Structure formats: C-alpha cells, structure tokens
C-alpha cells in the first residue's frame, strides 16, 4: 500500500523491480513459495538515531542519522552514506533496496545497505564537518564492522568525511580495520576508488555501444552533476575521445560547447567547493543556466543537443519531458552514474525508443565493486597498483553488461537492460536466500 508519501522513492524503486520480475516468476514459481518478494522488500534491520553536535557559534545542532541494513544474503552490508538536507528514511530505503541488486550484479560477495543524514555540509567549516562526523560515528560504530557492514561515500560524503568518520571509529573501538571504503590513499584507501563510479559508467556506455557496433569516440556528451561521479565520468569521456559539454550543480548548469574544462571543474569542486557559476570567470564564452531559469517540467541540461547522456547528480533529475527532448535531439545512449536519476516515465520512453539505456544499478556499480576491491586489499594488507584495479573495474563492467544483456535475451527482450539487470540481480540474491533458509 502506497500509504506514505515520504516513501515514494522507495515504492518507485520497488515497482520497477517487481514489474521486471513478472516473467521470471512465471517460469520459476518457487520464488513465491519461499515468499522472497515479501522478505526482500523488508530491510533486515534499520537504525535511526539522533546526531547532536556543536557548531562554531557554540550552539547545539541536531540532525537525524540512518543506517538501513537491507540484505545480507550475499555478504556483509555494503553501501554509501549520504549527507544532504533532502535525506529521509524513505530516501535511504530506496537507495538500500537498489544497492542489493547492484551489489549482486558485481559478482562480489557484498550485501546491500545504505545510510546517511539530513545534515547539510554546505557552508559548514571543516571543524563543524569533523564534529558532525564524530557524533554520527559515535552511534554508528556499534552497528558496523569489516565483516558485517562497511559504509562508503555518496552525496556529500567524500574523502574528507570518510577520514573524520574513520578517525572516530578507530578512537572508539581501538581497531584499525577496513570498516569504511573511500579512505585516503596513504591510510588504507584503494587507488582508483575515487574514479571508479564515473569511469565505470563510461565503460558501461562503451559496452552498450560496442554491442550495437557503435562507439563513444567523437560523441558529444551531456553530463549532469559536478561531484565525484560527474567529474570522473567527464575525465573518462575525454580519455575515450568523446566530448563532454555540460555539468550541473544545485545552483545551475554549465554548457561549454568547446568541452568542459576538467582542470577548472576539479579546482572549483574538489578544492574550492564553489558554485558552478564561477566557471564563467575563466570561460566567459560558456553559458550558465541558473536553476531559476530551468523549464518547469525538467532540467536544463537535457534540453541541450548531444549524442549521449550521463545523469550523475541525483534521483529523478531526468523527467518525461527531458527524455522526449533527448530523443528528439537524437540521443542514442543513456548511462546512469546516479541512482534512479530517470523517472519511471522517462525510462519507459528510453525502452520504447530502444536506445542504449543503462540503468544506475548496472551502470554505476563500478563504485561499489571497487569498494569491495578496497576491502580485499585491507584484509590482505596489500595495496594494488592502479592498473590492476582499473583492469578489474573494466572487466567487472563488461561482465555486468554481459549478464544484463544475456538475461534480457533469455527473457525475450533483447536490449532491455532494465529487465536484464533486475532479473539477474534478483535471481542471485533470491537463490542465496532460499539456500540459507527462512531468515
Ligand atoms: P557528490 O556529493 O560528490 O556530488 C553530487 C552532485 O550532484 C553535486 O554537484 C551536487 O550539487 C549535485 N546534486 C546533488 N543533489 C542535488 C539536487 N537535489 N539537485 C541538484 N543537484 C544536486 O555525490 P556523488 O557524485 O558521489 O553522487 C552523485 C550520484 O551518484 C548520486 O545519485 C549517488 O547516489 C550516485 N552514486 C555515487 C557513487 C559514488 O561512488 N560516489 C556510487 C554509485 C552511485 P552541489 O555541488 O551544488 O551540491
């Protein structure tokens, strides 16, 4: 029952998966007998907690903290932490639910989880971020561990936050262990982790295009977002000879027809944490479209002409009207770096048009896959060279694509990677749940 509007994103995610599973259940009714659906939509455990911290003015601030441990059939819970004022328990549930299938698709031993807070890191000093992270971990530490639940970053949680969270975990428990991923490179992090989600989304696009005897080289690409995923999507697009011409943040969209200045973007976002509008100081010839001037029914970035689209900011950032415009402009490939960035109506249009469409749970799985490689390095006390990590990432993305494509074919819908991803991911988790008995 869709009784709670606060859970609308969670229901949206469930609906997509369940619709795709219909043909599987017709062939394999035993999943019904084991009540897999009823079990898989219910998190194994959820914690909600108060995070109190003291701001620079000496005032006590209070935020909500969450961790959803959704499914551990395939391994320890794994999934990021999101710090953003829009976060609710419904947001974390939707992300945790998606994570189960994504993690299954990687072929690695990781279950699904997610967490976060409605804390807004914008405008906070480093000290405030540190005090918040310490307070957050003071509750979270009792629920996580290298063999039970290993959080990572997501929106608003990057290397700085992971550092403060790790420091507090170590201080409380007295243990130096692989309890978080996305760590600094000289204290347990993996080379290539920062780049992995963006690079992976581009590798996935390349796999989709190769299967259609097309290529990325020479394509004009639209990217949304200006954070971790967007930046490394842009970097890999350049490496493969494509031309990314847009990026966006919560203040607006940059359109630079000569190609996004990647060095400047990194400087603005990774160093200065500035708004994208300042891109114009160095490139007055580029265009900035403020969110105030966005079309009412969508997002300015998708109204710009391009050949391929990479939504890398947040959920439901690509609407039905946006999808119509992309298709009218001849987009042939959409690879999702973000989680559930396209609305259900937009996805239906992409599938109907039979373009190369890679849903987030497949296309952005490179991030979590590389996080698992970080766990493997931590537990064996090794640090692998970048080439080894990148090689593995490339192979994992190719395997995910093949699984999705083969499964779509098996169920009579060649090219429908949404169906392929959902059935392939679900089957692995469901089979493991059955073999492990009623839990
Ligand atoms: P970051 O915080 O690094 O960047 C997020 C970017 O998206 C920022 O540019 C931010 O703008 C923009 N943004 C976020 N929320 C909104 C919003 N509500 N409206 C407009 N713009 C918004 O996060 P990531 O790059 O890590 O994550 C981006 C997406 O990728 C998310 O959907 C995340 O779940 C997904 N993802 C991330 C993975 C990872 O490894 N990091 C792995 C798999 C998926 P501003 O700068 O103004 O805040």
- In the beta sheet, which residues pair with residue 115? 67, 81
CA of 156 to the centre of ligand 1 (A): 7
Q: Which of the listed residues 178, 205, 234 is the one where a domain comes to its end?
A: 178
Residue that finishes a domain, picked among 309, 336, 354: 354
Distance 225 CA to ligand 1 centre (A): 6
Domain tally, the chain: 2
Q: Measured between alpha carbons, how far apart are the two ends of the chain, in Å?
A: 24
Residue 362 within a domain: no
In this structure, the answer to whether residues 174 and 206 fall within a common structural domain is no
Q: What number does the ligand 1 atom closest to the CA of 248 have?
A: 9
Contacts of 249 (CB under 8 A, 6+ apart): 225, 226, 227, 269, 275, 276, 313
Does residue 229 share a domain with residue 131?
no
Is 49 a member of any domain?
Answer: yes
CA distances from 394 to 51, 80, 93, 191 (A): 39, 21, 29, 14
- Please give the residue range of the domain that contains residue 331: 195-354
DSSP lists the bridge partners of residue 117 as 65, 83
Residue 259 sits in the same domain as residue 345: yes
161 and 97 in a single domain? The answer is yes
Q: Are both 139 and 274 inside the same structural domain? A: no
Q: How far is the CA of 230 from the centre of ligand 1 (A)?
A: 8
Cα–Cα dist 86/265, whole Å: 25
For 109, residues 6+ apart whose C-beta sits below 8 A from its C-beta are 74, 75, 76, 372
Residue range 204-214, pLDDT digits in tens? 999 999 999 99
Whether 387 is in a domain gets the answer no
78 labelled ligand-binding: yes
Q: What is the CATH number of the domain that holds 168?
A: 3.40.50.10860
426 within a domain of the structure (yes/no): no
- Pair of tokens at residue 25: 């259940």
pTM reported for the whole predicted model: 0.97
Structure token pair of residue 363: 């296309």
Answer yes or no: are the C-beta atoms of 69 and 77 closer than 8 Å: yes
Q: Are residues 112 and 205 in the same domain?
A: no
- Domain assignment present for residue 134? The answer is yes
Residues 174 and 254 in one domain: no
Residues 11 and 132 occupy one common structural domain:
yes
Token pair, residue 224, equals 């949304």
Residues 59 and 14 in one domain: yes
> What CATH number corresponds to the domain at position 322?
3.40.50.720
In whole angstroms, what is the distance from residue 345 CA to residue 29 CA? 29
Question: What's the sign of the alpha-carbon dihedral 155, 161, 163, 166?
Answer: negative
From the CA of 433, how far away is ligand 1's center (Å)? 32
The residue nearest atom 30 of ligand 1, judged by CA position, is 338
Here the tokens at position 435 are 């073999």
Asked if residue 407 lies in contact with residue 419, where contact means CB atoms within 8 angstroms, the answer is yes
Query: Is 122 one of the annotated binding-site residues?
Result: no
pLDDT tens digit at each of 439 positions of the chain: 455 778 999 999 999 999 999 999 999 999 999 999 999 999 999 999 999 999 999 999 999 999 999 999 999 999 999 999 999 999 999 999 999 999 999 999 999 999 999 999 999 999 999 999 999 999 999 999 999 999 999 999 999 999 999 999 999 999 999 999 999 999 999 999 999 999 999 999 999 999 999 999 999 999 999 999 999 999 999 999 999 999 999 999 999 999 999 999 999 999 999 999 999 999 999 999 999 999 999 999 999 999 999 999 999 999 999 999 999 999 999 999 999 999 999 999 999 999 999 999 999 999 999 999 999 999 999 999 999 999 999 999 999 999 999 999 999 999 999 999 999 999 999 999 999 999 9
Q: For residues 143 and 61, is the Cβ–Cβ distance under 8 A?
A: no
Q: Are residues 256 and 157 in the same domain?
A: no
Token pair listed for 135: 């307070």
Q: Does a structural domain hold residue 386?
A: no
Q: What is the DSSP letter of 267?
A: I
Beta carbons within 8 Å of 340's beta carbon, 6+ residues apart: 9, 12, 13, 94, 98, 315, 316, 360
Q: Which among 433, 228, 405, 391 has a CA at the least distance from the CA of 314?
A: 228
Q: How far is CA 91 from CA 208, 245, 392, in A?
A: 29, 30, 31
Burial (CB count <10 Å: 0-12, 13-18, 19+), residue 253: buried
User: For residue 103, what pLDDT is reported?
Assistant: 98
243 annotated as a binding-site residue: no
DSSP assignment string, 360-401: HHHHTTHHHHHHHHHHHHHHTT----HHHHHHHHHHHHHHHH
User: Are 109 and 211 part of one and the same domain?
Assistant: no
CA-CA distances (angstroms) from residue 396 to 108, 164, 391? 9, 30, 9
Closest ligand 1 atom, residue 337 Cα: 30
User: Is the residue at 168 inside a domain?
Assistant: yes
Residues 6+ apart with CB under 8 A from 156: 82, 83, 84, 116, 119, 120, 121
Q: Among residues 426, 423, 428, which one has the least CA distance to residue 411?
A: 423
The number of C-alpha atoms within 13 Å of 239 and in the hemisphere containing its C-beta is 12
- The residue whose CB lies within 8 Å of the most ligand 1 atoms, and thus the one to mutate among 250, 341, 360, is 250
Quick one: 295 and 208 in the same domain? Answer: yes
Q: Residue 99 corresponds to which tokens in the numbers above?
A: 């994570």
H or E segment to which residue 235 belongs? helix 228-239
The CA distance from 433 to 422, in Å, is 16
For residue 157, give the ligand 1 atom closest to its CA.
2
Q: Which of 332, 354, 376 represents a domain boundary (last residue)?
A: 354
Catalytic residues: 114
* Cβ-count burial 262-286 (b if 16+ within 10 Å, e if not): bebbbebbeeeeebbeebeeeeeeb
Residue 255 near residue 280, CB atoms below 8 Å: no
Residue 120 included in any domain:
yes
């Amino acid at each position: 029952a869709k009784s709670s509007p606060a859970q609308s994103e969670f229901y949206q995610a469930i609906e997509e998966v369940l619709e795709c599973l219909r043909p599987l259940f017709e062939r394999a009714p035993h999943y019904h007998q084991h009540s897999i659906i009823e079990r898989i939509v219910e998190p194994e455990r959820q914690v909600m907690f108060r995070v109190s911290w003291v701001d620079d003015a000496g005032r006590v601030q209070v935020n909500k903290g969450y961790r959803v441990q959704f499914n551990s059939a395939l391994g320890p819970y794994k999934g990021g932490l999101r710090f953003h004022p829009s976060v609710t328990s419904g947001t974390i549930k939707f992300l945790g639910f998606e994570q189960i299938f994504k993690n299954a698709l990687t072929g690695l031993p990781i279950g699904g989880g997610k967490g976060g807070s409605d804390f807004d890191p914008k405008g906070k000093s480093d000290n405030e971020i540190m005090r918040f992270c310490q307070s957050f971990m003071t509750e979270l530490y009792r629920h996580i561990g290298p063999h039970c639940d290993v959080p990572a970053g997501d929106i608003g949680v990057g290397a700085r936050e992971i550092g403060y969270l790790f420091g507090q975990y170590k201080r409380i428990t007295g243990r130096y262990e692989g309890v978080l991923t996305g760590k600094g490179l000289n204290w347990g992090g993996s080379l290539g982790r920062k780049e992995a989600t963006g690079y992976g989304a581009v590798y996935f696009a390349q796999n989709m295009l190769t299967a259609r005897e097309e290529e990325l080289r020479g394509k004009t690409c639209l990217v949304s977002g200006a954070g971790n995923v967007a930046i490394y999507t842009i970097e890999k697009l350049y490496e493969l000879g494509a031309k990314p011409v847009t990026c966006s943040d919560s203040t607006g969209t940059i359109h630079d027809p000569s190609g996004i200045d990647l060095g400047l973007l990194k400087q603005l976002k990774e160093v200065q944490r500035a708004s994208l509008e300042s891109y114009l100081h160095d490139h007055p010839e580029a265009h900035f479209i403020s969110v105030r001037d966005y079309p009412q029914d969508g997002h300015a970035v998708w109204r710009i002409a391009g050949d391929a689209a990479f939504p890398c900011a947040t959920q439901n950032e690509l609407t039905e009207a946006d999808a119509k415009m992309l298709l009218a402009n001849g987009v042939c490939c959409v690879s999702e770096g973000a989680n559930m960035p396209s609305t259900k109506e937009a996805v239906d249009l992409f599938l109907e048009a039979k373009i190369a469409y890679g849903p987030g749970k497949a296309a952005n799985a490179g991030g979590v896959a590389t996080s698992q490689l970080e766990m493997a390095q931590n537990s064996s006390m090794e640090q692998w060279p970048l080439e080894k990590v990148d090689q593995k990432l490339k192979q994992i993305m190719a395997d995910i694509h093949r699984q999705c494509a083969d499964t779509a074919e098996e169920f009579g819908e060649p090219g429908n990677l949404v169906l392929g991803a959902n059935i392939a991911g679900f089957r692995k988790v469901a089979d493991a749940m059955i073999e492990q008995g009623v839990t």
